[in-house]
């Protein structure tokens, strides 16, 4: 289980792979929609499948607080809760503890915080993060890591790197031990998370130490937090050297089509982001020709679909004018329809990326797509 | 077009019929989900079809204010806007003017009010109500009527009855004239609306005068506004005498399963109500054994579906525990899932009603369903 096989290589470091999980094989590079609290917001699993999604993500932080990991286990696990039979990944909760939790107390042992929902005190340790994820039962679990703020100094980031590495070891030990009662009976993979901010020496230190743990996959954490496109690319320039070619590499929280293209060219295999659904709720559509802001008055009488070449449910049935109306009237269906289109766009985008890697035209088409999607003035 | 044929009769006054429209034939008695602003809230047309809905309603009041009738026409009409190819009915806007509009000024000519959306002044006359509905293009249009408040005196209701009748005549004249540019090119039916509150003499006067206009169908308006179940039944006791058997009868804004059963037994053919979706958004499910409040803590660990005999998408895929979690987390999907179940319940309920009328077991089973759905203590 969790075999990762490279199926095609490009002239860049881009690669196609297949990643085997207990809930099916996924083709990489892959984009995973985010199902925060057990649902990709506003989208049924049927709609997710129809939009081309193959693997989704659940947020440990949200699920541990509500309904609680033990409750999810008693309801049959996260696959059952989400009514999703395909592969799933859960994060460790660390990122949200650092972005959403109040009154954090960080120690070598773990991190204590106040729930943003009811103010209760919660302790998250590496062992508890694994236990929660065993109760949730996703195919891929993530280690608990410390996410320093984007403006942290080299010394602060170095501390976070070393603590995250210590936590990776403790997560590996917990993962190797007997799972708690109620945990999934299917095998689960554990991925380590590289930290190090934009400091390439720390990134290298973090990555190499993780590789020594010989985990089923490696994630690049702490990027897409405001550092900008080029600093992200600089960090990613090193990953093909740091991580073994035989393991999947997952860039957490990314995201923007331009970042995905840059990361694929540098050897990244997996992505996740809330953009398709968050922007969907704001009536902002992704297309091959940039973003379309559907609340814009110029769409009022537009009988064309969001994208006339798109085959998604939304584009087959609704005009821009109708979607603008639904958005202005704050109808839930508007959010659902634009989310469906965006999810379809991301699945389609990654499918094109995979095809061009196989055709060895990725580098060239990637440039063309960048120009199309991000012209000097890119928003309609 | 708009032929109404009685296909079965019961031992009560209940009847099955088929009603022909330009977008298909519907079997009656029928329940029409409400698509207020061009969408049944949170539900795609595919989900509506799968839930068994055959005919839906649009609200003229909401659509005339946003996006505007002329805009709907330019976007291809309400069927296109709603992406719904089946039969549709639009109300005249009158009811919402009286329940949502501010600063109403009522005259013989019509009613002026302030939009609840942007405060602009709007004038709605019988002629404009028909024109708007021709631009929307639903299969069935409703006359503009005056809806007096539930506590109105006999004299006040008598005035509303006479004004509504005058408006019915003007609507009929407008309907017979050339439609405005941009209107649907398909035939549209016009239904009259009986008013009269709980005063049976006024109900008879209103109904008989409408029948003289020889319209394609007749609605009973101004009920289910707080008068209670028995007073509603008393008014409905007379309709089979007042209205011709050969035309469909539509009880507006109803609703509750017990009211539907009582009205069918008295010869009503059509219903509409927001209950399935409004209660869906509040996590309240309709079942053959009464309502289920899914936010109730007792459902936290319940792995059973809302109704184990229900074949809807929600019941096939989700447990009560999961839906409770989605409701507590205020996830949009929870609202959609319970709405899907409720829409399926209402379609199924009316289908059972039609079957038992054909089997001549309606009176007996109607009693049984009442006891099941409304026991002394009816809420779980």
Q: Provide the pLDDT for residue A236.
A: 98
Residue in B with minimal Cα distance to A40: B333
Contact A6/B at CB under 8 A: no
As a whole number, the mean pLDDT across chain A is: 96
ipTM: 0.96
Shortest Cα distance, chain B CAs vs residue A301, angstroms: 6
Give the residue-averaged pLDDT of A80-103: 91
pLDDT tier, A380 (very low <50, low <70, confident <90, very high otherwise) = very low
Answer whether A298 touches B (CB < 8 Å).
no
Interchain CB contact of A295 with B (< 8 Å): no
Q: CATH: 3.40.50.720, 3.40.50.1860, 3.30.2350.10, 3.20.20.105. Which one for A31-273?
A: 3.20.20.105
Residues of B in contact with A80 (CB under 8 A): 319, 322
pLDDT single digits (tens) A120-149: 999 999 999 999 999 999 999 999 999 998
Task: Please report the pLDDT score of residue B99 as a whole number.
Answer: 84
Q: What angle do CA B166, B167, B172 make, to 5 degrees?
A: 100
Q: Does A67 touch chain B (CB under 8 A)?
A: yes
Residue A237 a catalytic site member: no
Q: Please tell me which residue of chain A has the smallest CA distance to B302.
A: A75
Reported as a pLDDT band with limits 50, 70 and 90, residue A376 is: confident
Q: Which positions in chain B touch A294 (Cβ < 8 Å)?
A: none
B325 and chain A in contact, CB less than 8 A:
yes
Question: Is residue A22 less than 8 Å (CB to CB) from chain B?
Answer: no
Q: Is B77 on the interface with A (CB under 8 A)?
A: no
Domain chopping of chain A, boundaries: 31-273, 280-371
How far is Cα A360 from Cα A364, in angstroms, rounded to an integer? 9
The shortest C-alpha distance from A156 to chain B (Å) reads 35
* Active-site position among A10, A272, A307, A348: A272
Round to whole Å and give the CA distance between A309 and A10: 27
What residues of chain B lie within 8 A of the CB of A46, using their CB?
A: 313
* Nearest-CB residue to B300 (from A71, A81, A319): A71
- Touching check for A45 and chain B: CB below 8 Å? yes
Chain B residue whose CA is closest to A78:
B322
Calpha distance B27→B7 (Å, rounded) = 9
Give the side-chain half-sphere CA count within 13 A for B337: 35
Residue in A33, A36, A38, A39 to test binding to B, most B beta-carbons within 10 Å: A39
A223-247: average pLDDT:
95
Chain length of chain B: 380
Residue A189 to residue A2: CA distance in whole angstroms: 7
Q: Global pTM? A: 0.96
Looking at domain B29-273, its CATH superfamily turns out to be: Queuine tRNA-ribosyltransferase-like (3.20.20.105)
**Residues of B tagged active-site:** 91, 272
Residue A306 at interface with chain B, using a CB cutoff of 8 Å? no
Instruction: Tell the residue number behind the tokens 């969907």, with chain if given.
Output: A280
Q: Is B322 on the interface with A (CB under 8 A)?
A: yes
| Chain B residues inside the 8 Å CB shell of A76 | 303, 319
Taking the Cβ of residue B94 and every Cβ of chain A, the question of whether any pair is shorter than 8 Å is answered with no
For residue A179, the distance in angstroms to the closest alpha carbon of chain B comes to: 21
| Partner-chain residue, chosen from A46, A81, A337, that has the shortest CB–CB distance to B322 | A81
Contacts of A81 in chain B (CB under 8 A): 322, 325
Give residue A102's pLDDT band: very low, low, confident or very high (50, 70, 90): confident
Backbone angles phi, psi at A343, to 5 degrees: -60, -40
Could you say which of B43, B321, B331 has the minimum Cβ distance to residue A75?
Answer: B321
One digit per residue, the tens of pLDDT, for chain B of length 380 reads 999 999 999 999 999 999 999 999 999 999 999 999 999 999 999 999 999 999 999 999 999 999 999 999 999 999 999 999 999 999 999 888 888 877 889 999 999 999 988 999 999 999 999 999 999 999 999 999 999 988 999 999 999 999 999 999 999 999 999 999 999 999 999 999 999 999 999 999 999 999 999 999 999 999 998 889 999 999 999 999 999 999 999 999 999 999 999 999 999 999 999 999 999 999 999 999 999 999 999 999 999 999 999 999 999 999 999 999 999 999 999 999 999 999 999 999 999 999 999 999 999 999 999 999 998 764 44
CB A67 to CB B300 under 8 A?
A: yes
Task: Give the pLDDT of residue B377.
Answer: 62
User: Radius of gyration over alpha carbons of chain B, in Å?
Assistant: 20
Q: What is the 3-state secondary structure (H, E, C) of chain A?
A: CCCEEEEEECCCCCEEEEEEECCEEEEECEEEEEECCCCCCCCCHHHHHHCCCCCEEECHHHHHHCCCHHHHHHCCCHHHHHCCCCCEEECCCHHHHHHCCEEEEECCCCEEEECCCCCCEEEECHHHHHHHHHHHCCCEEECCCCCCCCCCCHHHHHHHHHHHHHHHHHHHHHHHCCCCCCCCCCCCEEEEEECCCCCHHHHHHHHHHHHHCCCCEEEECCCCCCCCHHHHHHHHCCHHHHCCCCCCEEECCCCCHHHHHHHHHCCCCEEEECHHHHHHHCCEEEECCEEEECCCHHHCCCCCCCCCCCCCHHHHHCCHHHHHHHHHCCCHHHHHHHHHHHHHHHHHHHHHHHHHHHHCCHHHHHHHHHHHHCCCCCCC
Q: Are B336 and B51 in contact (CB under 8 A)?
A: no
* A278 in Cβ contact with A248 (< 8 Å): no
- The answer to whether the CB atoms of A333 and B83 lie below 8 A apart is no
CB B206 within 8 A of CB B183: no
State residue A377's pLDDT score: 62
> Which residue out of A36, A38, A43, A44 would a mutagenesis test of the B interface target, given it has the greatest number of B Cβ atoms within 10 Å?
A44
Cα separation, B20 vs B28, whole angstroms: 11
Please answer yes or no on whether B325 and A76 come within 8 Å at the CB atom: no
């Amino acid at each position: 289980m969790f075999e990762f096989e490279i199926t095609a290589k490009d002239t860049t470091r881009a690669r196609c792979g297949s990643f085997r999980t207990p809930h099916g094989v996924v083709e990489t590079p892959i984009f995973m929609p985010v199902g925060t609290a057990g649902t990709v917001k506003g989208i049924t699993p049927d709609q997710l499948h129809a939009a081309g999604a193959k693997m989704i993500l659940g947020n440990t932080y949200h699920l541990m607080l509500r309904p609680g990991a033990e409750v999810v286990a008693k309801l049959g696990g996260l696959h059952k809760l989400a009514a999703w039979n395909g592969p799933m990944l859960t994060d460790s909760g660390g990122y949200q503890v650092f972005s959403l939790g109040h009154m954090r107390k960080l120690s070598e042992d773990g991190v204590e915080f106040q729930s943003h929902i009811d103010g209760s005190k919660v302790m998250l340790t590496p062992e508890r993060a694994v236990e929660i994820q065993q109760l949730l039962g996703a195919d891929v679990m993530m280690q608990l890591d410390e996410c320093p703020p984007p403006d942290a100094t080299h010394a602060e980031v170095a501390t976070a790197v070393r603590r995250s590495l210590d936590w990776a070891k403790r997560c590996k030990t917990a993962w190797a031990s007997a799972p708690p009662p109620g945990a999934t009976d299917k095998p689960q993979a554990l991925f380590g998370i590289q930290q190090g901010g934009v400091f390439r020496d720390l990134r290298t230190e973090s990555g190499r130490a993780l590789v020594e743990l010989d985990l089923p996959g490696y994630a690049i954490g702490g990027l897409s937090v405001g550092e900008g496109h080029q600093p992200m690319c600089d960090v990613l320039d090193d990953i093909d050297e740091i991580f073994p070619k035989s393991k999947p590499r997952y860039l957490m929280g990314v995201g923007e089509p331009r970042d995905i293209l840059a990361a694929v060219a540098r050897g990244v295999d997996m992505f996740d982001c809330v953009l398709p659904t968050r922007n969907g709720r704001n009536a902002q559509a992704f297309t091959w020709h940039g973003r379309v802001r559907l609340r814009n008055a110029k769409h009022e009488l537009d009988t064309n679909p969001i994208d006339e070449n798109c085959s998604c449910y939304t584009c087959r049935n609704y005009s821009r004018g109708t979607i603008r109306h639904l958005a202005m009237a704050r109808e839930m269906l508007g959010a659902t329809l634009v989310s469906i289109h965006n999810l379809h766009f991301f699945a389609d985008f990654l499918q094109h990326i995979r095809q061009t890697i196989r055709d060895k035209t990725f580098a060239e088409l990637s440039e063309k797509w960048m120009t199309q999607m991000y012209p000097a003035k890119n928003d309609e």
